[in-house]
């Protein structure tokens, strides 16, 4: 079965061609480069992992309860629309919600892979090219992982959301070398990292928790890479050039916020047009989703501030979105936490496996002694 067979909505094209502008830049300066960037590159090499080995794919997943969350986390829970649904339809709501979320993660990871390759091609500094090359491999692994999860465990997929597609189009078609950093490393990766973190921390299911934690361990480095490169570059830009970047950030953040509404998910559940509108009203009024949206900007807002884009108009846009207070988040602390959680999951998993193996050996020895 191909992925196209899993799509709830037929994908418009088998491939999506984006016309990209700009130059491929070579550099003949092979000095050591920036110490922090090279340290990040070394960490990127050291932290490579194989998804077929590190993730326990033998764990069973209920496609109608992928994350193990109570129904209160669904936007339409306890609404008149929810109460009119039979249990079969509610099960489909749970399945489609998880499928839509992980499908957008998958498409975003492919976008990140292409943007990383674009950075290798266009960024002028060799140390940045080195790190972006490791990130390209990371993103390939993430796309591989989410695709396998959807294909083998959920059995359902959604095409790319139009808002995510629009932001990727703007990011890749811009000729300026810093725009893939700004669009992908700061906006798309920043929002994805926060989304992964929320789901990682609330899911009760071991397989999605593993996947989200291990992907986040990589993504924390990627956001740090974008911050480092853009902070250096934006110190050299004029006010007019910075304003252009701020315009891009404001538009991109509104696109990312609207992406979370996921109208296509509700349109594909067999609901009437009036019921789809009812569902979208519930989405817009959901206290859980309002908090979720706010948390999703916990990585983006402080990162945008850190790289030097923090004019009054940008702050006003974040105030309008209700996320300005996220500027006070400590990115370094969040990244350390992402590393520690992944390492803790590894330690717990492998300690359990060692204990099980030791018990099997002890049982075998005991049986042998009894037989003798």
CA distances from 150 to 3, 103, 108, 155 (A): 9, 7, 14, 6
Average the pLDDT over 227-248 and give the result. 92
- Is residue 348 one of the residues assigned to a domain? no
Q: What is the CA radius of gyration of the chain?
A: 22
- List 7's β-bridge partners, or say none: 157
* Residue 360 banded pLDDT, cuts 50, 70, 90: low
Structure pTM? 0.86
What is the SS3 assignment for 157? Answer: strand
Percent of the chain with pLDDT over 90: 52
Whether residue 126 contacts residue 118, with contact meaning beta carbons closer than 8 Å, is answered with no
- Is residue 359 one of the residues assigned to a domain? no
What residues make up the domain containing 142? 3-12+32-334
Query: 86 exposed, middle or buried (CB, 10 Å; 0-12, 13-18, 19+)?
Result: exposed
- Got the DSSP string for 182-195? IIIIIIIHHHHHHH
CATH code, domain carrying 160: 1.10.620.20
How many helices (H) and strands (E) are present in the chain, helices listed first? Answer: 17, 0
Q: For 101-159, what is each residue's pLDDT tens digit?
A: 999 999 999 999 999 999 999 888 888 899 999 999 999 999 999 999 999 999 999 99
Q: Does residue 49 carry a pLDDT above 80? A: yes
- Got the DSSP string for 3-19? HHHHBSS--S-SS----
What's the mean pLDDT when you consider all of the chain? 88
What is the count of structural domains for the chain? 1
Q: For 278-303, what is each residue's pLDDT tens digit?
A: 999 998 888 887 888 778 888 899 99
- Is residue 369 one of the residues assigned to a domain? no
Q: For 6-45, what is each residue's pLDDT tens digit?
A: 877 776 666 777 777 777 777 777 676 678 888 888 988 9
- Angle (CA) 261 266 269, round 5°: 160
- Is residue 21 one of the residues assigned to a domain? no
Q: For 184-196, what is each residue's pLDDT tens digit?
A: 888 888 888 888 9
Q: What does the block give as tokens for 123?
A: 């960024």
d(CA 271, CA 264): 11
- Is residue 355 one of the residues assigned to a domain? no
Beta-carbon contacts of 199 under 8 Å, excluding residues fewer than 6 positions away, are 67, 101, 208, 212
Beta-carbon contacts of 182 under 8 Å, excluding residues fewer than 6 positions away, are 171, 226, 230, 245, 248, 249
d(CA 333, CA 43): 17
Token pair 């790190």: residue = 131
- Is residue 303 one of the residues assigned to a domain? yes
Q: Which of the pair, 37 or 306, is modelled with greater confidence?
A: 306
Whether residue 261 contacts residue 276, with contact meaning beta carbons closer than 8 Å, is answered with no
CA distances from 194 to 188, 191, 222, 295, 303 (A): 10, 5, 13, 7, 12
Query: 324 exposed, middle or buried (CB, 10 Å; 0-12, 13-18, 19+)?
Result: middle
pLDDT for 1: 64
Whether residue 77 contacts residue 71, with contact meaning beta carbons closer than 8 Å, is answered with yes
- Is residue 157 one of the residues assigned to a domain? yes
- List 157's β-bridge partners, or say none: 7
* Residue 358 banded pLDDT, cuts 50, 70, 90: low
pLDDT for 356: 59
Q: What does the block give as tokens for 38?
A: 């090279």
- Is residue 372 one of the residues assigned to a domain? no
């Amino acid at each position: 079965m191909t992925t196209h067979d899993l799509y709830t909505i037929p994908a418009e094209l088998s491939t999506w061609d984006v016309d990209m502008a700009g130059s491929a830049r070579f550099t003949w300066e092979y000095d050591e480069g920036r110490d922090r960037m090279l340290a990040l590159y070394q960490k990127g090499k050291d932290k490579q992992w194989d998804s077929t080995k590190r993730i326990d794919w033998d764990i069973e997943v209920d496609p109608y309860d992928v994350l193990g969350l109570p129904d209160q986390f669904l936007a339409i829970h306890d609404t008149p629309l929810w109460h009119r649904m039979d249990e079969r339809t509610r099960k489909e709501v749970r399945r489609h919600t998880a499928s839509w979320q992980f499908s957008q993660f998958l498409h975003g990871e492919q976008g990140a892979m292409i943007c990383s390759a674009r950075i290798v091609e266009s960024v002028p500094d060799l140390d940045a090219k080195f790190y972006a090359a490791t990130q390209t491999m990371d993103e390939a692994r993430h796309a591989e992982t989410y695709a396998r999860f959807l294909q083998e465990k959920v059995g359902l997929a959604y095409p790319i959301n139009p808002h995510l597609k629009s932001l990727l189009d703007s990011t890749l078609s811009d000729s300026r070398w810093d725009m893939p950093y700004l669009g992908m490393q700061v906006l798309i990766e920043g929002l994805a990292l926060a989304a992964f973190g929320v789901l990682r921390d609330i899911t009760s299911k071991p397989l999605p928790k593993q996947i989200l934690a291990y992907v986040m361990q990589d993504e924390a480095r990627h956001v740090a890479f974008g911050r480092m490169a853009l902070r250096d570059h934006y110190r050299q830009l004029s006010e007019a050039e910075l304003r252009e970047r701020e315009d891009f950030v404001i538009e991109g953040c509104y696109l990312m916020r609207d992406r979370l509404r996921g109208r296509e998910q509700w349109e594909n559940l067999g609901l009437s047009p009036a019921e789809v509108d009812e569902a979208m009203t519930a989405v817009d009024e959901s206290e859980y989703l309002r908090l979720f949206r706010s948390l999703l900007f916990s990585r983006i807002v402080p990162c945008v501030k850190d790289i030097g884009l923090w004019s009054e108009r940008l702050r006003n846009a974040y105030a309008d979105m209700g996320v300005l207070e996220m500027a006070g988040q400590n990115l370094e602390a969040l990244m350390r936490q992402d590393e520690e959680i992944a390492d803790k999951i590894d330690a717990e998993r492998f300690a359990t496996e060692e204990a099980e193996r030791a018990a099997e050996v002890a049982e075998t020895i005991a049986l042998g002694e009894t037989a003798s």
